Amino acid sequence: MKKLMENIYEAIGETPMLRLSRITNHYGVEGNIFAKLEYLNPGFSKKDRPALQMIEEAKASGELKTGQTVIELTSGNTGTGLSIVCQAKGHPFIACMSEGNSMERARMMRALGAEVIIVPQAKNSVKGQVSGEDLKLVEEMTVKLTKERNAFRADQFNLDSSYRAHLLHTAVEMLEQCDGKIDCFVDIVGSGGTFEGCAEKFKEYNKNIRCYIVEPANAAVYAGKNLINEGRHKVQGCGYAMDLSKVNKELIDGCIQVTDEEVTQMTRDLAKLEGTFVGFSSGANVCAAIQLLKDKEKGKNIVLTLNDSGLKYLSTDLF
């Protein structure tokens, strides 16, 4: 147990690991799914980790000056983590977020002291389904404001510190909690930092650990498939149908696609059966693990993260 803390960001990390035995029994598969409960971080998501790592490394290098404003493009989770870390370390924070993301995230960031800029979606976009085109509009606004405010860009898509958070911490914790007995790792990619950091550490530990990328079926670009329905899907914060700079393709052992319907049902099952109240991307990871246990990874041990809290989706049709 951690001792008395002086700063909230000290609570980031060292999350529990849960065996999803009720899910595997319900779906009638052989093997184990070990889920890292990342939604129990203080910002209710795994993105607290890169938020802390990016700020601490930037301060240590001198790139982030005392009291300087921090800015980032976010679906809401990295922004929440940065809101917490920046407030505690004395940096104003600006979050740029698409209006397609659930508004609980914007409200939470504002409550934590952040300035939140909501960027309108592209003309043909659907609310609640953030596309790569929507993300480009948020990127343009972020670049513009970075220059205008003389801000430090906590760029989760491009800074090495973003994936090092998972290389140095998340994956190491998972190996310790599973006593190294890991056969596979699955991850639905947003910025790609979790996949890159964990896959790199797992293969360093044991080159035979298979690492799978998970994608929405409509936006399965790593699987080499064409976009369906302009790549629209419900899995917020993931599946942007873009080549991610932090993903080393040599680490990818396979790609798995999940549909909106499968993801929604699995996320609801996680709440009812396991008591884990999480969001769409967590359901996507577990969907992929079930697919593998039904087929090529039958009887194996699969690790994954439950990424964020279901409380961030109460305005959607998920629950």
E strand intervals along the chain: 17-19, 32-37, 70-73, 93-98, 115-119, 152-153, 184-188, 210-216, 254-258, 301-306
Establish whether 281 is a catalytic residue: yes
CB 105 within 8 A of CB 79: yes
User: Among residues 46, 47, 89, 234, which one is catalytic?
Assistant: 47
Gap between the Cα atoms of 2 and 183, Å rounded: 30
User: Among residues 45, 281, 282, 309, which one is catalytic?
Assistant: 281
Establish whether 47 is a catalytic residue: yes
DSSP 8-state code for residue 72: E
Which helix (DSSP H) or strand (DSSP E) does residue 144 occupy?
helix 132-148
Q: Is 268 exposed, middle or buried (0-12, 13-18, 19+ CB in 10 A)?
A: middle
Q: Is 136 exposed, middle or buried (0-12, 13-18, 19+ CB in 10 A)?
A: middle
Give the residue numbers marked as catalytic: 47, 281
